[in-house]
Amino acid sequence: MKRRSLRLGPGGEFDRLRAIFATLDAAGHDLGDDCALLPVGGRTLAISIDLSLEAVHFRTDWLSFREIGWRATAAALSDLAAEGAEPIGVLVSLGLPGNGRGRGKGRPDPATEIMTGVGAAAQRVGARVLGGDLVRSTRYLVDVCVLGLAARPVRRSGARPGDGVWVTGRLGGAGLALAALRAGRGARGGRGGRLAPALRRRFARPVPRIAAGRWLARRGARAMIDISDGLAGDAGHLAAASGVGIAIELECVPCWPGVTPRAAARSGEEYELLVAMPRSFGTAGARAFRRATGLPLTRIGACTAGRGLGITDGGRLITPPPGFDHFPAR
């Protein structure tokens, strides 16, 4: 029997995933969501894995090894947040250069420092480090598998026409920090000035929205996804998985100070939650969310009949900003 996979949005990376899903056929099961979901008793076990690779996801001249461990773990935990799951634990595989690069006389081993960051990020959300693996590698690599439990997991595929589209927090901080680092500002121990502490924390120590995801799941969230590839890209995946259209009003997008809505919509690795809530959920619900979590919850659009993503700026339809793609078309 052929297993169902969720529909994915456009892009080279997702074209490759579609080909993989088709090849797996019956060997794959229910692929394409933020987590794998397995019934366990009266709850659901949520499992996800996320790989961070040096020179692709982080640079050692930008981040300390503790920050690298925290950031990789937070990225994986964010997938649990998008399912409305409670974290249980993490497993971590590390790839470490065999020449001792990054070490110096009297300095701790990078593996120890990375795992200190992993442990701190896990502890922040009530999870434990359960084990892992070590391997010699040409570059630093941090591969994090997370496990959590959900009473009612929220998939990408449940949105319906008429649902409101909401986003937690503010967008654009991670992109602003990345632009500064690429310009030579704010690098660890580097020249060219320092990032503001709040902006550096946004990039180096993102906080997975676990409590927010669980609150939204309990309040009837129809579909949810974490914003890792950019608002437009991830909204496209949610629309494709649910078989709906999504209309976003760019001027409604909550922005980090100094960031334009267009830049905020492009910014990846935000780890905020994009969620479709029933039509009945309104400003009173958003106020209750803020009281419970300390975060703003902003309505930025709606689900519609049809397919795909539409973004307007002042009422004028614009081309959606591209999301991050590991395998862009040449």
Q: What is the CATH number of the domain that holds 39?
A: 3.30.1330.10
**Digit-coded pLDDT (tens) for 121-151:** 999 999 999 999 999 999 999 999 999 999 9
Mean pLDDT of the chain: 88
Please tell me whether residues 177 and 307 are part of one structural domain.
Answer: yes
Q: What is the mean pLDDT of residues 165-191?
A: 85
- Residue 188: which pLDDT band, with cuts at 50, 70 and 90? low
CA 229 from centroid of its chain's CA atoms:
7
Q: Which domain holds residue 267?
A: 164-318
**Digit-coded pLDDT (tens) for 145-159:** 999 999 999 999 999
Please tell me whether residues 282 and 220 are part of one structural domain.
Answer: yes
Q: What is the mean pLDDT of residues 242-270?
A: 95
What is the Cα–Cα distance from 79 to 69, expressed in whole angstroms? 16
Of 239, 272, 235, 253, the C-alpha closest to 160 is: 239
Domain boundary residue among 122, 150, 178? 150
Which pLDDT does position 2 carry in this prediction? 40
Q: CA dihedral defined by 146, 147, 153, 155, rounded to 10 degrees?
A: 30
Please tell me whether residues 191 and 306 are part of one structural domain.
Answer: yes
- pTM of the complete model beyond 0.85: yes
Please tell me whether residues 146 and 168 are part of one structural domain.
Answer: no
Which pLDDT does position 8 carry in this prediction? 57
Please tell me whether residues 184 and 298 are part of one structural domain.
Answer: yes
Residue of 187 and 282 predicted with greater confidence = 282
Of 109, 108, 106, 131, the C-alpha closest to 118 is: 131
Which pLDDT does position 3 carry in this prediction? 44
3-class DSSP state of 316: strand
Q: Which positions ≥6 away from 195 have C-beta within 8 Å?
A: 177, 180, 181, 185, 186, 203
Whether 196 is covered by a domain: the verdict is: yes
Please tell me whether residues 191 and 216 are part of one structural domain.
Answer: yes
Q: Is the pLDDT of residue 66 over 70?
A: yes
Domain boundary residue among 121, 150, 179? 150
Helical packing angle, 210-218 and 283-293, nearest 10°: 140
Number of domains in the chain: 2
Q: Print burial letters for 260-278: b (CB count within 10 Å at least 16), e (below 16).
A: ebbbbbbbbbbbbbbbbbe
Q: Is the pLDDT of residue 308 over 60?
A: yes
